[in-house]
Amino acid sequence: MTKPPIGGNRTGRKLGQKVKKGKLKASSRRWIERHINDPYVQRAQLEGYRARAAFKLLEIDEKHKIMSGAMRIIDLGAAPGSWSQIAAKVTNSTDDDPKVVAIDFLELDPLAGVHILQLDFLDPSAPDRLMAALGGTPDLVLSDMAAPTTGHRQTDHIRTMHLCEVAAYFAIDVLAEGGHFLAKTFQGGAERELLTLLKQNFKQVIHVKPAASRAESVEMFLLAKGFKGRHPDRPTRPDFNAEDDADMRDDREMAGENED
């Protein structure tokens, strides 16, 4: 069972540490203090995960069993790699026989059993390169992609929903029948069409917010379980606006992606 961390004793670090003011802005200092005092951050360091986001996936899987029996997994927006670490473990992936492919425009340090593509998923060549690297049909597509935040909640929601929609069409194009799709989204209401698409193609579609997601965060996850299989009457990936995709890529390259 994935239990929430309690206090700071498990890592030997006390909670409530302060950061000296120095030249840091107040907002930066508060972020650093929250980060170093976060029990999930401390637990990730203790257990060898690259980010606290590992516990979001572990909690979701504990309840919904999305990785049970998965043979091949694709991880979109993978940096710094904690979800890929888990995926490699559950699939028994090795460097000689990789069953996990991770993609991000940010550089990832090598991970045992994970084929890494340093490439923006919005690049038109990304889908074919992912499938060629995987060498088979995935049972699970994960997406922790999020657009850089602007400070305007609705704008951030719409931009991240675009990434989620592109990931959803990709999953529908490549998943094995019975497979699952999990993607990050932000609360905001502009997801009716995406939910309709997922419900047409999966047996169950739900929103989940694991305990490891910060309570004050607008972050949630869309979970689509039980892919029905490709059917000619179901919609396929539309031609998204190439200029919008290019603008999004430029913004992400300037801002980078943060795994919360």
CB atoms within 10 A of CB 221: 21
SS3 (DSSP) at 199: helix
Q: Is 72 exposed, middle or buried (0-12, 13-18, 19+ CB in 10 A)?
A: buried
The answer on whether 104 is annotated among ligand-binding residues is: yes
**Is 198 in contact with 224 (CB distance < 8 Å)?**
yes
Q: Which of 56, 99, 184, 225 is catalytic?
A: 184
**R_g over Cα of the chain:** 18
Tokens of 105: 């425009």
Residue 83 assigned as binding residue: yes
Alpha helices, DSSP H only, in the chain? Answer: 26-36, 39-47, 53-64, 82-90, 126-134, 153-174, 192-201, 242-255
CB 119 within 8 A of CB 149: no
Residue type, 121: F
Q: Read off φ and ψ for residue 25, nearest 5 degrees.
A: -70, 155
Closest listed residue to residue 260, CA positions, set 80, 100, 1: 80
Residue 31 marked in a binding site: no
Cβ contact 101:92 at 8 Å: no
Taking the C-alpha atoms of residue 250 and residue 145, their distance in angstroms, rounded to an integer, is 15
Q: Would residue 184 show up in a list of annotated catalytic residues for this protein?
A: yes
Helix (H) or strand (E) holding 116: strand 114-118
User: Do the annotations mark residue 245 as ligand-binding?
Assistant: no
For residues 183 and 230, give the distance between their C-alpha atoms in angstroms, rounded to a whole number: 20
Q: Binding site residues for S-adenosyl-L-methionine, as ranges?
A: 81, 83, 104, 120, 144
Q: Binding site residues, as ranges?
A: 81, 83, 104, 120, 144
**Residues assigned a catalytic role:** 184
